[in-house]
Chain A
Amino acid sequence: MQEIKHVLDVLKEVEKAIISEDIIKLKDLSNQTIHTASISQDTDNILVAVLIYSISKVIERSNYREYPEWKSFVQSIKTHIDHAINFLENEDINKFRFEFKKLRKSITKLSGNFKFHVQDVFRKAEINKASRIYEHGISMEQTAKILGITIWELSEYAGTTGISNVNLNRTMSEKKRIQIAMEIFEK
């Protein structure tokens, strides 16, 4: 793992933000992690970014609190993060990763609609974070690969964002590009 200290600092902030239910802080922490992830493409950083964003979404949706398992699920997230921090402080990366795997596995043990919704939140978080990495300038295919999603999912999501309106994307006049397109069909 790269930048252990950064991940550690972020996770400690995440713990506090979960307790205070500070959704904005959680999203900000996820974005911070994405900057690092765009450069290093380190799977641990990406895992943490997706996780934090997913947690922010789970906490944000107040109707989830009506599910009987909500309290115990949030408590289990806190416990897993606490354990992950301890493992990271002891530089035991394998156990740190395993703790996150256990957290993801705990979702499969939820029941009914709550399980379906939380799984959906995590999948959408992966697509959202992929879109952020693509926004940072990494190619669509490479981004899809590092997040474990498909180009189909990323294209569909990226198209709804403002990524394509960035001025720097423009690398040729539209007149010239249309000319190139028309010419090859006319030869």
Chain B
Amino acid sequence: MKALIFDSSSLINLTMNGLIEILIELKKIFNGKLIITQHVKYETIDRQSSIRKYELGSLQIKKLLDTNILEMPSSLGIQEQEIKETTKEILSKVNSSYYAKEFMHIIDEGEASCLATSLIANKKKIENLIVIDERTTRMIVENPENLRKLFESKLHSRIILQENFDYLKNTKFIRSAELLFVAYKKGLIKLGKENVLQALLYASKYKGCAISEEEIREIEKMA
């Protein structure tokens, strides 16, 4: 069993770019589950249904859930209560890790629920990746010191990091940009060849994927 766990930021990115249905094609070749947590469902589907500008996007994501392209963690045998408890623990630890004049609240439930689902899936030997476009959650796990430096440079004050996040070290991340690269390489993007990859990557970047122009150039070289 394997799974991709989607954060709100990556689902929203794909939707705003009119690319959310690529998940249908990706699922056909994935042989695993595409997962969203209850809180990500709330952020992308339930909450948006009352905001007209994003209602269409929210309906598109809902359709994927209704047709089992996206599935809840229970499809992996992970119970909601287990996610809630682990999410709470993660939130408590992460939000008491970076100290300025006080501990900074840096992530919230949706992001923490993705980390929780990944942790539980790892324990169950379910190979998984978190697909997340916002950069803070990724930095906490992959380079917490970089995040400390970022805080210091932006806040112009000393920041103390009091946690090494070892318990999260097996969590792996990709962004919508890398997912689109896979779709491109697998021939799932039916837009011809010319500049398609570049167009996909920049579209992702300009809808909030935390990827630099330098990284985009590097991906292009790998095509």
Is A66's beta carbon under 8 Å from chain B? no
Q: Are A160 and B104 in contact (CB under 8 A)?
A: no
Which of these binds chain B: A9-17, A86-94, A96-104, A148-156?
A148-156
Is B209's beta carbon under 8 Å from chain A? yes
Interface residues of B, CB < 8 Å — how many? 75
Q: Are A138 and B101 in contact (CB under 8 A)?
A: no
Q: Are B16 and A39 in contact (CB under 8 A)?
A: no
Q: Give CA–CA (A138, B111) in the complex, Å.
A: 12
Given A141-B8, A141-B134, 14 more contacts at CB 8 Å?
A: A35-B154, A38-B154, A38-B155, A136-B150, A136-B154, A138-B105, A139-B111, A140-B9, A150-B43, A151-B8, A151-B43, A155-B9, A164-B205, A178-B219
Which of these binds chain B: A53-61, A70-78, A168-176?
A168-176
Is B222's beta carbon under 8 Å from chain A? yes
Q: Jot down 20 A-B pairs with beta carbons below 8 A, ordered by A.
A: A39-B100, A138-B104, A140-B8, A141-B43, A141-B111, A142-B105, A142-B106, A151-B44, A152-B16, A152-B57, A156-B207, A159-B205, A164-B210, A169-B150, A169-B212, A171-B146, A178-B181, A184-B30, A185-B26, A185-B182
A-B contact count (CB 8 A): 172
Residues of chain B in range 174-223 having any CB-CB distance to chain A below 8 Å: 174-175, 178-179, 181-182, 185-186, 205-215, 218-219, 222
Q: Which residues on B sit within 8 Å (CB–CB) of A184? A: 2, 4, 30, 32, 127, 129
Q: Are A185 and B212 in contact (CB under 8 A)?
A: no
Q: Which residues on A sit within 8 Å (CB–CB) of B218? A: 174-175
Interface residues of A, CB < 8 Å — how many? 44
**What residue of chain A has the Cβ atom nearest to residue B40's Cβ?**
A141
| Minimum distance in angstroms from B29 CB to a CB of chain A | 6
Q: Which residues on B sit within 8 Å (CB–CB) of A158? A: 208
| Minimum distance in angstroms from B142 CB to a CB of chain A | 4
Which of these binds chain A: B47-55, B64-72, B78-86?
B47-55
Is A107's beta carbon under 8 Å from chain B? no
| Minimum distance in angstroms from A41 CB to a CB of chain B | 6
Q: Are B108 and A139 in contact (CB under 8 A)?
A: yes
**What residue of chain A has the Cβ atom nearest to residue B215's Cβ?**
A174
Q: Are A160 and B154 in contact (CB under 8 A)?
A: no
Q: Give CA–CA (A163, B181) in the complex, Å.
A: 22
Contact among B4, B108, B146, B206 for A168, CB-based, below 8 A: B146
Is B102's beta carbon under 8 Å from chain A? yes
Q: Give CA–CA (A92, B30) in the complex, Å.
A: 59
